Structure formats: C-alpha cells, structure tokens
Structure 1
Amino acid sequence: MRCRAVPVSTLAICMALSGAVVAETGSETRCLDDAMLVFDASGSMAGTDIDEQRPHIAKVREALDAVLPQVTPRRDLGLIVYGPGPHERCDNVELRLKPGPNSAQTIMAEVAGVVPAGQTPITSAVRDAAAALDFRAKPAVVVLLTDGEETCGGDPCKLARQLRSEAKQLTIHVIQFKVPGSTWIASGTGSACMAEETGGLSLTARNRKELVDALRKTLTCPLFSQAPK
C-alpha cells in the first residue's frame, strides 16, 4: 500500500493500514493459510451446566455462527467432526468438508445436524485434518475445539511432533471448552501439547463469550477480528 501526500489525519490512517497489511502477510501470522476446524461431538458435549439446561454443544454452535462469517470470505476452511455414533466406537472421525472458500453456511449446517454421543479420538481427528490440508506440501492450520481429552489410546504429543517433522508449515491451535466440573490433563501431556509442539495457541473457554474470543484469535486476522460480539 503506497501513501501519497495527504492530510496528516489521512496519512495516519494510511500508515496504520500499511502496517496491518505487513503484519497480515508476515510469515509469523499465518492468518490466511488453509485451515481445518476439528469439532468435538463426543458424548460429553450433550451435557449441561448445573445452572443451565442448554447443552454445551449449543454454546459452541452459537460461537461458531458469530465468527465463521468473518473467516470464510478470507480463508479456505474445512471441517472434521469426531464423536457421533455408538459410545464405544473410536473410529468415529468424519471428514465433513475439505477446505474451501465461503464455507460458513455449509459448516454451520453440518454442525447443526450433529448429535453428540461417542468417544474422543482427538489424535486420529487431528491427523486426518492435517492430511485434508495437504500439510506436507503447503502451510496449514488446524483448530481443535474440544471439551475433553483423548479417550481412544492416541498420543496427541507424539502425533504433533511427527506432523511437525513432516510438515511444510503446520500450526495446531487448541481451544478447550472447560465446563464447570470438568478436569484437564496437565499442560504438556494432553491436547494442549499439540499447540506447544507446533507454535499454536492453547486457549481455555468457559462460556460463549470466551469461545467467540478464542475462535477469533485462532481463525481470523488481527485487522478483522475486532467486530462486535
């Protein structure tokens, strides 16, 4: 962006926008790389808070509906869902949508139809998300949204190290929806390790507002992440 001779006030705005463009295109930002949302539809997402009758998944849907329209006009986004199906199954990982443009409505339709029921195969889901992004050939971002930890014997830390070693440029962000009464494995051993191993963000959200904030931090560019809630 080139700033010509203009009034001081206009020049300030121009310089600010120029700086934003530089930040957005910097290698450290990764805010426009193709991304996959890994969505938790395990049985625990059907639970409710002590003081509220709405299931946890309803809050997550509302947060996604508030954020995705800001994201998908600017970056290709896909969806993997894990959890639907019989409780005892661990092969319940489904690629619902490969990364594509303007995918907010499609993703929301998929999420709206999910019935949470099964186990939590986080490791398999993130592996499939990286594959859908062709992570060995181009930069990629995975955003894991979960209210629990791995329950199918996978090793999130080991997988993150393996993916990092094979990737062109892979970042895994982890959003932990921590509802009242839940417990989390210590940092470095659970899903948060995936973020630590790949330079991603590990965020905890306890309500809809914090979910919206976390999704904006992991999916949108700084210049476009300040829209009203």
Structure 2
Amino acid sequence: MKNIFLALGVAAWPFAVSGADCTRDAMLVFDGSGSMATLAAEAPFARRIDDARSALQRSLPRYAPYRNVGLVIYGPGPLGPCDNVTVAMEPKANADLDILGAVAGLEPDGDTPLAQAVETAVEVLDPRGGGDVVVITDGRQTCGDPCPMAQGYADLGVVVHVIGFKIDENFERWPGYYAESGGLKREPSRCLSDATGGIFVITNTVDELTDALQETMGCAVVGRNQSMLYLQSG
C-alpha cells in the first residue's frame, strides 16, 4: 500500500476521484445467489463469488475508515429461494473486517431476490436520511422487478449504484432466459441507477470490480490542515 498526497483539485485514480459523500451512509448489497458459484471459463478458473470477495478485500480498506458502511446479503439461507435476504450489519465505521468476515464463508445458493434486497437496504437507510446503495449482481435476476420502486428511492434521498459482474458471460450461457425477459436483463436493474442518479457499470475482472467499488463507495478525504488531499492506492 502506498500513500499519495496531492494538492486539492488534482486527482489520480483509474476512475475520476469519486464524488461520493463520506457523510452519507452506504449499504453494500452482495450477490450470494447460486449463479455466483459459476467457474470462470479462463484460468485461474475462480468462482464468481471468490473474485467478488477478492475485490472487496482490495477496495474496502480504502474507504471503510472514512464512511459508515453496512451489508445486505441475498441468495443463500433457510427460506424460499426468493426470500433469503439478510441484513448482515447496519452502517458503521471501520466495517471492512466485519464485512469481509460476513462474506468469507458464504456458499452461493438460492435464486436472486435482488429487488427485495435493495428494498431492505433502503429500509435501513431511510431513518438515516438516505444514503448510497451499491449492488453487486451477476445479472441473473429471478425474483421480482425492482424498477417500479426506483423513483420512490430517489424521493427518499437514496442513490442506487449497480455493478454488474460477468453479465455478458451470463448472457452467452443462458440466452433463452434473457431472451424471454427482454433486453433489459442484459443490464439488470439499470433502472435503479438511472432513476436515482447512480452509476451503472459492467465489470468482468477482479480489477474492474475493485475499481467500480472504489468509484461508487469511495470518496476524497481532506486532511485536517485542509491543504492536501489524501488518497490510498494499492
């Protein structure tokens, strides 16, 4: 880990410096559904969930000290395949180790109740005056439609960012499923980011997912002397 100090107004990052406001609480919505067990078609043949964990390990320490972050997990659990949504933790400071611990032993299972998971995250943020929801999804949305709720989230002061992970690969493996549901399924839940002013991005590698998490969850931090901008870069 190396430290980079830059004069105010100057940025160096794979994306532009995130515009996220660290005073706003954030909820990470993590895909633990059965499709996240899919192996990559290329070496090192890692499962999607393992790649997602790697991206979190890289990105979380960059912003967890500076903003309150919570976690919702969807997919695995004892309920019906579309009912397993768990609030693993509400937003708190320095949550990186707790979040990593919560996803470390997660075994992908169940369907994809993404709409219910986002609704649950919004319910956590609503009493806090809104905040940011960051969704990681591999695209196989199978339980309900989140789009009708999107404008309501914006009215509550919630911004939803959607990070698609290996969606194109899903489109190739299950063309019939996506054809039945229309073209939007190739860009799952983009309606959420469009309606709330969030970011939508498709990622295919650990590096891309790491950068997307930094862009949606991270933020610039101004030092106490108000003269320098402090960023951490791996």
Q: Give the whole-Å Cα distance in 2 for the aligned partners of 1:175 and 1:39.
A: 10
Determine which of 35, 46, 56 is the counterpart of 1:44: 35
Indicate the structure whose relative CO is greater, using CA pairs within 8 Å and at least 6 residues apart: 2
Equivalent residues of 1:41, 1:84 under 8 A apart? yes
Say whether residues 1:93 and 2:66 are aligned partners. no
Conserved in 2, the CA contact under 8 Å of 1:188 and 1:196?
Answer: no
Q: Which stretch shows the higher mean deviation, 90-99 or 177-186?
A: 177-186
> Conserved in 1, the CA contact under 8 Å of 2:160 and 2:199?
yes
Structure 1, residues 175-218: CA drift from partner, whole Å, max 9, x if none? 00025631274389831110000000001110001001100100
TM-score (norm 1): 0.80
Distance 1:188 1:196, change over 3 A: farther
1:1-51 superposed Cα distances (whole Å, 9 cap, x missing partner): xxxxxxxxxxxx99x42x47xxxxxxx743431000000000010011122
Match of 1:155 in 2: 145
Aligned pair 1:122/2:82, yes or no?
no
Distance 1:180 1:192, change over 3 A: closer
Partner of 1:207: 205
How far apart are the structure 2 equivalents of 1:225 and 1:87?
45
Find the counterpart in structure 2 of residue 139 from structure 1.
130
Instruction: Give, in whole Å, the separation in 2 of the partners of 1:193 and 1:170.
Output: 14
SS in 1 for 2:61: helix
Question: What CA distance in whole angstroms lies between the structure 2 residues aligned with 1:162 and 1:91?
Answer: 22
Secondary structure of the 1:111 match is helix
- CA contact 2:75–2:109 (8 Å) conserved in 1: yes
Structure with more of its chain in strand, by fraction: 2
| Structure 2 counterpart of 1:174, from 162, 170, 193 | 162
C-alpha displacement of 1:87: 9.5
Q: CA RMSD in A?
A: 2.6
**Structure 1 unaligned regions, length at least 5:** 1-12, 21-27
**Residues in 2 aligned to 1:57 and 1:161: alpha-carbon distance in whole angstroms:** 30
**1:179 to 1:139, Cα distance in 2 relative to 1, 3 A:** closer
Letter in 2 for 1:103: A
Letter in 2 for 1:63: A
**Structure 2: stretches of 5+ with no match in the other structure:** 11-18, 172-177, 222-228
TM-score by length of 2: 0.79
CA distance in 2, matches of 1:219, 1:29: 7
Residue 35 of structure 2 contacts residue 140 of structure 2 at CA under 8 Å; is this kept in 1?
no
% identity of equivalent residues: 38
Say whether residues 1:198 and 2:188 are aligned partners: no
